Amino acid sequence: MLVFTRKRDEAIVIGDGIEVRILRVGKDGVRLGVTAPPDVPVHRQEIYQMVGAANLSAATAPANAKDDTSMVERLATRLRRDSAASGLSADAVGRSVAKVDLSAEAVGRSAAKAEPAR
Amino acid sequence: MTVESLLIDTRFGAFAANDRDIVTLVNALPGFERCRRYVLLSARSLEPFTCLQGLDEPRPSFLTVDPRVVVPGYSLPLEDSDQRRLDLLPSDTPLWLAIVGLSADAASVNLRAPIVVNPRRMVGLQLLPATSAYSCDHRLPLD
């Protein structure tokens, strides 16, 4: 890890013009100002790590997937019932992205060599 | 543009897709920094769920759902910077995908950090708001 000593109003520059400036040094914390290009997102580490942990625990690798299809179908049935009751149809929430149909026929037709993951 | 056919393994089986079905993330998902390309899959029996399948190693497979189906009235502001990254125009209708976590006997939805996709450009990103009224593990009813 690179270590710098910086005073108030001094900065470091990372990569192509990302600037991290010390704005204030207080008893309980240091106030930083970050200037970065619009395509570089800047996050507090604890938020990034919290979402990263949630993503990691939600992801399933196809190679060691357990058979969770029946549970998903149970959840789906319940959600369809709830949204029908609230008058919210699936079409109402916009579904314009290109989606690949994951039907049993499609699997059988196009994946002659591949074993289904479950 | 040539259309290449891809054979994709998922937790729900294997199937074919085209390269025009690929959603590219402008910023990778935290935890999966090396995977930028995903395909969104649907099946009638799984509706309203979809499967967001990563194409780059380690090829993560996510179960996703529109958060507005889980919580009617759900809304999260899209910052100007995020709209620019997604090249969202006022005429675009972004797609919202919340990631579902499954355990042996429970399911939860990450309403805090949804993935937003611009279907016109097939680009997406995960929102990481610093503060939010929504939680990372909103419980889904099983039966």
ipTM: 0.92
Which tokens hold the place of A16?
């192509």
Residue B7, pLDDT above cutoff 70: yes
- Nearest residue of chain B to residue A98 (CA atoms): B21
- Any idea which of A98-102, A104-108, B16-20, B139-143 has the lowest mean pLDDT? A104-108
Determine contact: A115 vs chain B, CB below 8 A.
Answer: yes
Best residue in B44, B76, B128 for a mutation probing chain A (most A CBs within 10 Å): B128
pLDDT, average across residues A79-86: 78
The predicted-structure confidence for A42-58, as pLDDT tens digits, reads as follows: 999 999 999 999 999 99
List Cα–Cα distances, A44 to A34, B129, B130, B140, in angstroms.
11, 10, 7, 28
Residue A106, pLDDT above cutoff 60: no
For the entire predicted model, the pTM comes to 0.83
Q: Tell me which residue in A61, A72, A111 faces B46 most closely, judged by beta carbons.
A: A72
In chain B, which ranges are E strands?
Answer: 5-10, 13-18, 22-25, 37-42, 50-54, 61-65, 95-102, 107-118, 123-126, 138-140
pLDDT at A103: 53
Name the average pLDDT for chain B.
89
- A20 neighbors A10 (Cβ within 8 angstroms): no
Distance (Å, rounded) from C-alpha B81 to C-alpha B90?
Answer: 15
Burial of B51 per CB tally in 10 Å (0-12, 13-18, 19+) = buried
Q: To which H or E segment does residue B85 belong?
A: helix B80-85
Q: Could you tell me what percent of chain B has a pLDDT over 90? A: 64
Determine contact: B34 vs chain A, CB below 8 A.
Answer: no
Which tokens hold the place of B120?
């016109």
The predicted-structure confidence for B115-134, as pLDDT tens digits, reads as follows: 999 999 999 999 999 999 99
Helical H segments across chain A, by residue range? 45-58, 69-85, 104-110
Determine contact: B101 vs chain A, CB below 8 A.
Answer: yes
Distance (Å, rounded) from C-alpha A74 to C-alpha A77?
Answer: 5
Contacts of B19 (CB under 8 A, 6+ apart): B3, B4, B6
Which tokens hold the place of B125?
């990103």
pLDDT at A97: 52
Determine contact: A37 vs chain B, CB below 8 A.
Answer: no
Contacts of B36 (CB under 8 A, 6+ apart): B24, B25, B28, B56
